Amino acid sequence: MQLGLIGLGRMGQIVVDRTLAAGHDVVAFDLDEDAVEGAADAGATPADSIDDLLERLGSDKRIWLMVPAGEAVDVTLEELAPHLDGDDVVVDGGNSYFEDSVRRAESCPAAYLDCGTSGGPAGAELGFSLMVGGPQWAYDELEPVFDAVATGPDGHERMGPAGSGHYVKMIHNGVEYALMQTYGEGFELLHEGRYDLDLENVASVWNNGAVIRSWLLELCEEAFREEGNDLGTVADRIEGGSTGTWTVQEALEQEVP
């Protein structure tokens, strides 16, 4: 199928590469001309504006946004809106606030899918985990692309109506930051504790069968292997970002400890 991709940062470029590798066509646009050239080198059709991108897409447009959450999404949608109708589909693959996604789904002329995206740079090789909210028919229509961008058919799922995809991703990030903080505090205690421990060895053993094994812990093991055991000036906290703050706010609102 043919996909229009707006936003060619690190994550957006991965979406381009994996979609192309699966045999689909991509029309790519970004405000950064170098990013557009990079996508073209990978095999995408370059567009020099949103209007140009729209002209290159077929009558039933499938457009994936990978732009920063917030105003950039609204500005892009405003430019797209006059050219869209109910047969088109727009995917927002960024970390938008779920209530903003509900609002955008109600006002967008096209079917709107909010798509929480997890996997980071490793997604380039392994594929992403995709949490999607919005109309079932639109999700079904984009399934070939979701298969390509995700780890495969098991790497994506429709969570429910508009907003649910970004809601699940928001909570996902809250869990992620809590896990990172916990690992950080645990390794700090090991480092300052009673024994002279090799933290890489600890992480390696934990990653082989322990109940706290995880990809995040694999990254810890890799970091200890490359940087050594001295924690030095490594911060003793995790910055939660907007999604972490939203998770805490939602927990307070729902009275969930």
Quickly tell me which residue has 């292997």 as its tokens: 225
Whether 129 shows a pLDDT value over 80: the answer reads yes
- Claim to verify: residue 126 and residue 8 sit in the same structural domain: yes
Whether 24 shows a pLDDT value over 90: the answer reads yes
- Claim to verify: residue 25 and residue 94 sit in the same structural domain: yes
- Claim to verify: residue 157 and residue 185 sit in the same structural domain: no
Q: Taking the model in full, what pTM does it have?
A: 0.92
pLDDT of residue 232: 84
- Claim to verify: residue 175 and residue 114 sit in the same structural domain: no
- Claim to verify: residue 103 and residue 177 sit in the same structural domain: no
Domain count across the chain: 2
What's the CATH number where 187 sits?
1.10.1040.10
CA distance 29 to 53: 7
Tell me which residue range forms the domain holding 204: 170-254
Q: Does residue 126 contact residue 119 with C-beta atoms inside 8 Å?
A: yes
* pLDDT (tens digit per residue) in 159-204: 999 999 999 999 999 999 999 999 999 999 999 999 999 999 999 9
pLDDT of residue 124: 80
Choose one of 95, 126, 161: the last residue of a domain: 161
Whether 155 shows a pLDDT value over 90: the answer reads yes
Q: Does residue 169 contact residue 153 with C-beta atoms inside 8 Å?
A: no
Strand order in the sheet with 129-133: 45-46, 25-29, 2-6, 62-65, 89-92, 111-118, 129-133, 156-160
- Claim to verify: residue 190 and residue 141 sit in the same structural domain: no
What's the CATH number where 127 sits?
3.40.50.720
Choose one of 138, 161, 184: the last residue of a domain: 161
Choose one of 109, 144, 161: the last residue of a domain: 161
Burial grade of 207 (CB within 10 A; 0-12, 13-18, 19 or more): middle
* pLDDT (tens digit per residue) in 62-73: 999 999 888 999
Q: Kindly state the helix (H) or strand (E) to which residue 56 belongs, with its residue range.
A: helix 50-56
Residues identified as active-site: 169, 176
- Claim to verify: residue 46 and residue 139 sit in the same structural domain: yes
Q: Does residue 63 contact residue 3 with C-beta atoms inside 8 Å?
A: yes
Phi, psi at 251, each rounded to 5°: -60, -40
Whether 121 shows a pLDDT value over 90: the answer reads no
CA distance 203 to 16: 34
